[in-house]
Chains A and B, each alone.
Chain A
Amino acid sequence: MSSLRTQVWMLVDYSLCTGCRLCEIACSLKHEGLVWPAASRIAVYEHYPGAPVPHYCVQCPDYPCVGACPTRALRVDEGTGAVLVEPSLCVLCARCVEACPGRVPKIVRGKPHVLICDLCGGDPACAKECARAGYNALKVVSRPANTAVKHYSRPPDLVAEELGRRHFS
């Protein structure tokens, strides 16, 4: 159980997110070496002005994506708790996307496997960039040892509706 306590997790404060997507740029620079917003493992949606929705893997305690993968391309990193993709095993069947309560895994033209946040080995580039800009909407914390974390994972459209209603009811 000791590894669980060291696992990191990322909180989002919707009210602090400016919708700038520096997180997407930082993620793609880190993982792809290019500015490639679509290949970022974190995505920001904004259906209502001023109500951006950062959207990423929250590492559900029961990892439905891992269980749904028919080729065993997904596994849980013991250190961070992140879902890791084995590119050579992934066949882009999208079962993980369907199994995910937030429909988080991304399938992107030019990438032969799904994209899921790997927490950058415990030091996420997105959160660092967000802090660098002084926004601090993403906060890296120790992973809470309860099931509350899974509640974060909802399709972005739904979250956008709820956040948008706060501003524009």
Chain B
Amino acid sequence: MVNTCGLWGRLLSVDLSSGRVSTESVDATAYRMYVGGRGLAAYLLWRELGRKWREVDPLGPENLLLILTGPLTGYYPGVKLVVSGKSPQSCGVIGSAISSHVAYAIKAAGYDGIVVRGASRDPVYLYVRDDSVEVRDASRLWGLGGFKLLEALRREVGGDAPSLYVGPAGENRVRTAAVMSRWFHAAGYGGYGAVMGSKKLKAIVVEGTGPLPPVADRDEFLKLRHEVIDRVASRTTFRMWGTTSGIWRVGHDTSSEPVRNWQEEWHDREEFSHVVLQRRHWVKNPWADWGCPLACMKVSRAVVDGVSYATDGPDYEMGAYLGSNLGLFEVDKVVALTSLADDLGLCGIQTGNVLGLAVELYERGILTREDVGYELAWGDFESLKRLLEDVAYRRGLGSVLAEGTYRAALEIARRKGLPTEDVLRYAVQVKGVGLGAHGIRSRRDYPQPIAYAASVQCGDHTSVAGLPVDSEESEVSSVFADSAVVCMFTAVEENTMLRFLNAVTGWGVTREELYGTIGPRILALQRILLLLGGPDVRWDPRVHDDNPPRFYEPLPSGPYAGSSASREEVSRSLAEYYGQLGWDELGVPTEETLRRLGLEDAVEVAREIRRELGTG
């Protein structure tokens, strides 16, 4: 057992190839170095798969599916867990955070996380109730969409047991498939729905009936807990509209919302707003996840063509990616597409991104009616719905798009006999990961010019890189949230968060240690695994540490028309960013940095990467 409060020091370990269930311990030093969640994922993956990383097929049985909590899970208001493994999108490690009741349930069951190895031959689901763990037959559940699955699971296990699951998209190994929870929640970045599906694992149901582990300083914990609740509960506007208000504001005010595959980032469509959703579609507001004093969610309902749809929000990302990015500004139909994505288990961001690419390629005549099987047009709900379903079921062109934006662009170029750049110029992605719905061209939103180019999670808008690296602008800030595992929307300034972490764990982590050692350590390890990549793609920093070409085109409309990313500024900022983190000119952590961070065992691999890049 680990000598740390707030954690159990053990993970539940399941090998689906053999059906063997066991527990494995994580020692206190590893936690102190990597915190938990995303940091722990990087550590576990490096330790187990690091030597053969390039050969590991993310959709093969040798990959790990990690479901990890962190020391703040269940204590800090706002609960999340991190899904990870080798990503079928970036071929690196992505800590994919998801709001789920499974997070606290894992801890209440006596574990800090779940490690799934191997792959089952037949569909199964994992049922955990404290010490009792069963790998159960899921043949009757295989093929079900999320909504029907949750009803079936409730009948099967009884009560209200929380679960993580995949829809048909994950079963079909779609690289834009998410690990889902609670009807509408998705761990989308990374493509771990495909990993779960490749293991023939339909769901993970967790009931925890015990207490969470004790905390180090109970009085301080109770005091800070109320302090944070009071502060977060005062975010009145955010509670009222959640992130949904972004579908109007991020477009109209800050010109950073994807419109028609990012051809524009501004709109003035008043019918496409949070208040229209509020008036016409929200049946529950506010709505919250476990232990959350913010309640940014809203349940919406819409009837389109006689069919009833339900979803959450849609929140900003869904609204932007399944709405404006597809030229769809009718909110009832955006509710419908979002609800379909939820049910099919598709990441709305990645799927909306690749759908936007497809419609633009169709518009430009690169894709034709013969390729698709039907006509595609911006804002055409019927064909967009059909294409979304084709992706989830890998039908026709959908099977190409199911590979995600980057791989789909390469394949379409190959089939059309075009130079890859001619298709990649419309692909709004970085290193295999479609970008979140926050552009950089206007400079009025939060992501900096190197936000995606330098991020170890690539297109992940919740893990953007920024300068200076020792401030909350840094990706270290996301590393902290994803490793302590808290929700970024209930987070407050880091000093208070660190006091909270120390009250729970007794670690005494300082701001200097977070920004100087812990954060850079996790970033360095993620960076090395990302640069290793493989087996199907590899990244060259000189080519791939960059924005999508579209971001160098000037914005065509809105108050910031004419603005674009500057190549000169991007390369200058990248150099500065690498320098501040102790990485070399191509962004490979130097030997000195690795030793300073306690990553001696990565020195040889980093040397190898430098040699291959011709700089070592």
Contacts and interface: CB of A to CB of B under 8 A. Distances in A.
B222 interface: yes
Interface stretch (B42-50, B134-142, B286-294): B286-294
Contacts of B212: 34-36
Interface stretch (A63-71, A77-85, A132-140, A146-154): A132-140
A29 B212 CA distance: 11
A33 to B, nearest CB: 7
A133 B160 contact: no
Nearest to B147: A49
Interface in B209-250: 209-212, 214, 218, 222, 226, 229-230, 233, 239
A38 B288 contact: no
A37 interface: yes
A134 B233 contact: yes
A51 B284 contact: yes
Contact of B301 (A20, A38, A167): A167
Interface in A14-31: 18-22, 25, 28-29
A156 to B, nearest CB: 8
Contacts of A45: 159-160
A20 B308 contact: no
Contacts of A25: 291
A135 B108 CA distance: 26
A132 B159 CA distance: 29
A-B pairs, 8 with minimum CB distance:
A50-B284, A50-B299, A20-B288, A36-B211, A18-B288, A38-B209, A133-B293, A34-B211
A33 B210 CA distance: 13
Contacts of A28: 211
A134 B312 CA distance: 21
Given A18-B287, A33-B218, A168-B310, A38 B160 contact: no
B460 to A, nearest CB: 26
B108 A38 contact: yes
B74 A29 contact: no
A110 B211 contact: yes
A120 to B, nearest CB: 16
Interface string A97-126: 000000000001110000000000000000
B211 A32 contact: yes
Contacts of A47: 154, 160
Q: Assign chain B's interface to a size class.
A: 35 or more
B208 to A, nearest CB: 7
B130 interface: yes
Contacts of B77: 22
Interface of B: 74-75, 77, 104, 108, 130, 154, 159-160, 182-184, 208-212, 214, 218, 222, 226, 229-230, 233, 239, 283-284, 286-293, 295, 299, 301, 308, 310, 312
B233 A132 contact: yes
A39 interface: yes
Contacts of A19: 287-289
Given A22-B77, A29-B222, A36-B210, 6 more contacts: A20-B295, A36-B212, A38-B208, A49-B184, A110-B209, A132-B230
B287 A50 contact: yes
A133 B233 CA distance: 5
A39 B301 CA distance: 34
A60 to B, nearest CB: 23
Interface residues of A, number: 32
Given A108-B209, A110-B211, A37 B108 contact: yes
Contacts of B104: 35, 37
B154 A35 contact: no
A109 to B, nearest CB: 5
Contact of A20 (B182, B291, B312): B291
A22 B291 contact: yes
A51 B77 CA distance: 21
18 contacts: A18-B287, A18-B288, A18-B292, A21-B291, A25-B291, A35-B74, A38-B209, A45-B160, A46-B160, A49-B284, A49-B287, A49-B310, A50-B284, A50-B287, A132-B293, A133-B233, A168-B301, A168-B308
Most buried by A among B154, B218, B284: B284
Nearest to A106: B209
Nearest to B212: A35
Given A20-B295, A38-B108, A133-B233, A109 B130 contact: yes
Contacts of B286: 18, 135
Contacts of B130: 109
A49 B183 CA distance: 7
Contacts of A167: 283-284, 299, 301, 310
Contacts of A134: 233, 239, 293
Contact of B290 (A20, A50, A108, A168): A20
B295 A35 contact: no
B291 A38 contact: no
Contacts of A35: 74-75, 104, 211-212
Contacts of A135: 286, 295
Contacts of B209: 38, 108-110
A58 B287 CA distance: 25
Nearest to B298: A50
Nearest to B158: A157
A43 B314 CA distance: 28
A18 B233 CA distance: 13
A18 B295 contact: yes
Contacts of B210: 36, 38, 109-110
A20 B289 contact: yes
B430 to A, nearest CB: 33
A116 B204 CA distance: 30
Nearest to B301: A167
